[in-house]
Amino acid sequence: MISKNISLALWSWQAVNPDIAVITIQTYRGPVQIINVYNPRVEGVAQTENIISVISLLETEHAESILLGDINLYHL
């Protein structure tokens, strides 16, 4: 959720896929993107598709980034 104190003109969101959402907030220092990712756990199978998508986002956006979520990499 975004605070009502932040103008609607200063932020946007994008659903990259059902497991990745990005909020971009324009600040006086430039854009900040908050990336929330869920990387599903599948027993015995490395699930990296969402991680690759997030890395691609980090490489293409010219913004400070905060990455958070349930990444489940310890199951690999």
Whole-number pLDDT of residue 28: 93
List the structure tokens of 38: 């869920």
The amino acid present at 29, given as its one-letter code, is R
Whole-number pLDDT of residue 45: 61
Whole-number pLDDT of residue 10: 95
pTM, two decimals, is: 0.74
The series of mean pLDDT values per 10 residues for the chain, 76 residues long, is 89 89 92 86 68 74 83 61
Asked if 25 and 11 touch (Cβ cutoff 8 Å), the reply is yes
